[in-house]
Chains A and B, each alone.
Chain A
Amino acid sequence: MTGSVAKVKKTPPGPLEYMRRWPMQAWLVGVTVFLYAPLITLMIFSFNDSKRNIVWQGFTLKYYVKALTNDSLIQAFTNSLVIAFFSTIISVVVGAMAAILLWRFRFPGKTALDGAMSIPIVVPEICMGVGMLVFFAKVFPWPQGLPWPLNLGAIIIAHVSFSFPFVAVVVRARLASFNRELEEAAKDLGASEIRTLLDVLVPHIKPSLLAGGLLAFTLSLDDFVITFFTAGPDTVTFPVKVYSMVRFSVTPEVNAASTILIVVTVILTFFALKFQGSDALTAGHGAPEKK
Chain B
Amino acid sequence: MEQSWRQAKSIFGLLLSAPLFWLAFFFIVPMGIVWLYSFGENRGLVDIAFTGTWKNYARALEPLYLGIFVKSLYVAALTTFLCLVVGFPVALAITFAADKWKPWLLLLIMLPFWTNLLIRTYALIAVLRTEGYVNQTYEFLWNNAGGLMTLVGLAPLGEFQPLDLLHNNFAVIFGLVYVHLPFMILPLYSTLDRMDRSLLEASLDLGAGHLRTLWSIVVPMSAAGIASGILITFIPALGAYLTPDLLGGPESQMIANVIERQFKRANDWPFGAALSFLLVYLTFIGIAIQGMLDKQNRGRAA
Contacts and interface: CB of A to CB of B under 8 A. Distances in A.
A32 B89 CA distance: 13
19 contacts: A27-B93, A41-B126, A45-B126, A98-B19, A105-B2, A105-B3, A106-B5, A107-B4, A120-B27, A123-B283, A126-B259, A128-B27, A130-B34, A130-B276, A261-B115, A261-B119, A266-B114, A269-B107, A285-B110
A36 interface: yes
Contact of B183 (A55, A139, A286): A286
B58 interface: no
Contacts of B181: 31, 34-35
A68 interface: no
Interface in A32-57: 32, 34-39, 41-42, 45, 52-55
Interface in A90-106: 93-95, 97-98, 100-101, 103-106
A3 interface: no
Given A15-B201, A246-B125, A160 B22 contact: yes
Q: Which of A52, A168, A255 is the most central at the interface, judged by chain B CB atoms within 10 Å of its CB? A: A255
Interface of A is mostly: helix
A134 B239 contact: no
Given A39-B115, A290-B187, A107 B12 contact: yes
B81 interface: no
B223 interface: no
Interface stretch (B49-57, B62-70, B152-160, B228-236): B228-236
B260 interface: yes
Contact of B23 (A117, A135, A247): A117
A266 B10 CA distance: 42
Contacts of B111: 266, 269
Interface in A1-35: 15-19, 24-25, 27-28, 31-32, 34-35
B90 A31 contact: yes
B241 interface: yes
B101 A19 contact: yes
Given A53-B126, A128-B30, 17 more contacts: A19-B96, A34-B178, A38-B124, A93-B18, A97-B14, A106-B5, A119-B27, A122-B235, A126-B241, A135-B33, A224-B242, A242-B118, A258-B123, A261-B119, A286-B190, A290-B187, A290-B190
B232 A42 contact: no
A130 B122 contact: no
Contacts of B239: 124-127
Interface in A139-171: 139, 157-158, 160-161, 164, 168
A224 B118 contact: yes
A73 interface: no
Contacts of A27: 89-90, 93
A229 interface: yes
Contacts of B34: 127, 130-131, 134
Interface in B42-80: none
Contacts of A53: 126
Interface string A186-220: 00000001100100000000000000000000100
Interface size range on B against A: 35 or more
Contacts of A161: 22-23, 26-27
A281 interface: yes
A97 B122 contact: no
Contacts of B263: 130, 133, 229
Contact of B3 (A37, A106, A120, A135): A106
Interface in B204-257: 204, 225, 228, 232, 235-236, 238-239, 241-242, 246, 256
B2 A126 contact: no
Contacts of B133: 41
B280 A123 contact: yes
B131 interface: yes
Contacts of B162: none
Contacts of B236: 124-125
Nearest to B258: A126
A126 B96 contact: no
A164 B107 CA distance: 24
Contacts of B182: 285
A39 B178 CA distance: 11
Interface string A272-291: 01000110011001110110
B273 interface: yes
Contact of A101 (B16, B112, B124): B16
Contacts of B145: none
Contacts of B20: 113
A32 B4 contact: no
B288 to A, nearest CB: 11
